[in-house]
Structure 1
Amino acid sequence: MTGSPNGQAFLLNSDAPEGPTRFPQARSVPSNSRTTYVSGIASLLPDGTVAGAEEGQIPDVRKQTETILGTIDNIIRGASDGNGSIHNLIDAVVYLTEMERDYAGMHEEWNKVFKSQMVAPARATIGVKNLPDPRFVVEVKGVAIVPG
């Protein structure tokens, strides 16, 4: 693969300045790769608690996003026998229950993991009314490829 473990980024206007949004318009990957489809992941911890959800407080989208991205990294590593990571993610869908309030915080955490458009997966961010648990304010699903 060229330049990034998740294939090659495509931008309609590759000469435009990057700006604050860090995801390409598309990614291309070779066909000899292993594909992993990651289910929607929330910030549910192994002990049953929810990261970023303190009793009586507005859920913390930054903490939830950080936790989710770490969980996705662990899932991809496990599903690829340690050969892949979150940086093999080629496509992601982010669901937010409060788009206006939480988009910037989610995006800030996203940009800590994906440092440029050239390495970030393609992404859609969708506002939803609810997620399966009222403590969840963000959920992420995605597709990863790891060279075969």
Structure 2
Amino acid sequence: MTSNGHAFLLNPDAVEGPTRSPQARSLPSNSRTIYISGIASVLPDGSVAGIVDGQVPDTAAVLDIIDKIVAGASGGKGSVANLIDAVVYLTEMERDYAGMNEEWNKVFASREVGPARATIGVKALPDPRFVVEVKAVAVAPE
């Protein structure tokens, strides 16, 4: 078991593709569930990470913010590694999916540790500077 429970794969012997998410995760009973609101890449100085040279640093910034949220909400017992489910919203799926996924895979190196995930293309996010928003659920030890 990893810090975010057990990964479930219908075909665990299948070759792992570019999207590193299991079909489901199951949780231990002695855990605290943390529901994380949609988080965009608003940095501490109020600026937005945005897109730089075709990459989506928004994703790295969002995952870093979520890491801090989970740590704070769990009294320091959890981190972004405790995500069990996530929904990623992208304003430009064709342009940004590969870059988002590349940044995502730096944090979640395999399906065994990645949360279940859906990625949805949307027309707009609350601020026109946002290109990605993530809503997630984490589980941390009590």
Indicate the TM-score class for this superposition, using the shorter chain for normalisation.
over 0.9
**Percent identity, aligned pairs only?**
70
Partner of 2:32: 34
Displacement of 1:17: 1.1
Partner AA of 2:3 in structure 1: P
| TM-score, normalised with respect to structure 2 | 0.95
The structure 1 segments of at least 4 consecutive aligned residues displaced by more than 6 Å after TM superposition are none
Counterpart check, 1:132 vs 2:126: yes
The reply on whether 1:72 has 2:56 as its aligned counterpart is no
* Match in the other structure for 2:106: 112
TM-score (norm 1): 0.91
Q: How many corresponding residue pairs?
A: 142
1:61-115, Cα deviation, whole Å (9 max, x unpaired): 5211110000000100111111100000000000000001100000000000000
User: Over aligned residues, Cα RMSD in angstroms?
Assistant: 1.4
Q: Where does the alignment leave 5 or more consecutive residues of structure 1 unmatched?
A: none
Q: In structure 2, how many angstroms separate the alpha carbons of the residues matched to 1:20 and 1:130?
A: 25
| Per-residue Cα deviation, 1:32-57 (whole angstroms, up to 9, x for no partner) | 21010111000111221111268xxx
Q: Is 2:84 the counterpart of 1:90?
A: yes
Distance 1:61 1:40 in 2: 21
Q: Is the contact made by 2:50 and 2:131 (CA closer than 8 Å) also made in structure 1? A: no
SS in structure 1 opposite 2:133?
strand
Q: Distance in 2 between matches of 1:74 and 1:43?
A: 13
